[in-house]
Chain A
């Protein structure tokens, strides 16, 4: 049985974007802060910090979750994927490219969360309708775009990924 004392740091091990990383942290550290401050990966954003905005969305064992509302110790020995994991040697992920091409961002603060949620969506539903896209991203808030270009980008990416499966 795993036991960690209050105010004491203990080791948390995660496989993040395929790489095993470890850091010492307190039980009360939230996953978003662990990723940003302990692991130094600042692609994951903290927006509202109240489980509303979804800017902090990461994939935990493949499932999109709000990392401001998961404890780092709960992620111990779990697999994580953040926005940093999308880009490959070949360049931007088709979703990232589609956001660029379709002006799916303005200030860009919500984008990491949007990308992670839509990554999971396209994995489970490779050809979503516009309605399905809108439902899927309903836990991710954007205060700039009005969502139109984000939805366009995700639909566009799904079409590209369907026609060029080798890139995925």
Chain B
């Protein structure tokens, strides 16, 4: 299989990239890791006239941790987040090993995955749970868009044709709390798309009160989703079995999953309920262990 004919350009700087995107507009596609775009082009589901390979643009694959945020360069490959631990962001290294397979993780990038906007993508759910934002840049302007506003529809984002996603910004957790995170993915086989994916993160204070929480859902609608109602129920409370059960039930009702060959709507909702419950129970247990060792 091979894609439709296209022209190829590999800019060396961000300015050159912006110029090219300006010049070619809708006819151009940005090539990052290529692990979603190239398969789509081979299947002729995408046929851009111009491919702009940003692989040679420097400083796009870096990660910077500051007191208030973790800034992840768009070209950061999944494998980096699989091997590198960011202690205040445990959910990232919990999610990375679930993405596709090790060979794909060696090429695929976080920015590419988000810009592709597959509703079943793992990073979408996780980064929504973490309340991340993305930096979109063009010659004209730089703008910071909350991920919540970034996903518009299946494979559709707020990116304008002349814009490049340059960075993902994950806000730091509250300093006085312990932060936990888990990612669950139901897949038929290794490397498959999620039947459902559930990202759960929570910060707990000394007495076990939830100070921050996020729940992200993959493959539960036309875009990656945050289960906001469910996460809001956690704030200011302790993780009792009753609360966990209630939150899991509310989370399962968020989103709009379709019945398909991967499972029925009912099944997908049930699995979300199970995973949210499991994630919160694990977080509670981990907090107890951590708290005992501190005391």
Instruction: Write the residues of chain A forming the contact surface with B, with a CB cutoff of 8 angstroms.
Output: 1-7, 26-30, 33, 49-52, 54, 57, 63-66, 69-71, 73-74, 117, 135-136, 138-140
Contact = CB atoms under 8 A, between A and B. Distances in A.
B77 to A, nearest CB: 9
Nearest to A76: B10
Nearest to B3: A28
10 nearest interchain CB pairs?
A139-B101, A27-B8, A139-B103, A6-B5, A2-B10, A138-B190, A6-B7, A4-B8, A3-B9, A7-B5
Contacts of A33: 2
18 contacts: A1-B12, A2-B8, A2-B9, A27-B8, A28-B5, A28-B6, A51-B38, A51-B39, A63-B106, A69-B35, A69-B104, A71-B51, A73-B53, A74-B55, A117-B102, A135-B102, A136-B102, A138-B101
A31 to B, nearest CB: 10
Contacts of A52: 191
A4 B7 contact: yes
A138 B187 CA distance: 13
Contacts, number: 100
B34 A70 contact: yes
B76 to A, nearest CB: 14
B9 A51 contact: no
Nearest to A48: B1
B4 interface: yes
B106 A71 contact: no
Contact of B7 (A3, A54, A117, A136): A3
Contacts of A73: 8, 10, 53
Contacts of A65: 103, 106-107
Interface in B8-55: 8-12, 16, 31, 34-35, 38-39, 42-43, 49, 51, 53, 55
Contacts of A74: 31, 34, 53, 55
B204 interface: no
A64 B106 contact: yes
A138 B107 contact: no
B223 interface: no
Contacts of A50: 1, 39, 42-43
Given A28-B5, A49-B1, A71-B8, A6 B106 contact: no
Given A49-B42, A74-B53, A26 B107 contact: no
A32 B31 CA distance: 18
B198 interface: no
A5 B6 CA distance: 7
Contacts of A3: 7-9
A1 B10 contact: yes
B2 A29 contact: yes
B193 to A, nearest CB: 12
A26 B51 CA distance: 13
Interface string B157-200: 00000000000000000000000000000000011000000000
A105 to B, nearest CB: 19
Given A3-B9, A51-B39, A138-B102, 16 more contacts: A1-B11, A2-B8, A4-B9, A27-B7, A27-B51, A52-B191, A65-B103, A69-B107, A73-B8, A74-B31, A117-B102, A135-B97, A136-B102, A139-B101, A139-B104, A139-B191
A4 B49 CA distance: 12
A57 B103 CA distance: 8
Contacts of A135: 97, 102
A70 B102 CA distance: 15
Contacts of A28: 2-6
Contacts of A117: 102-103
B100 interface: yes
Most chain A CB within a 10 A radius of its CB, from B39, B103, B104, B106: B103
A113 to B, nearest CB: 9
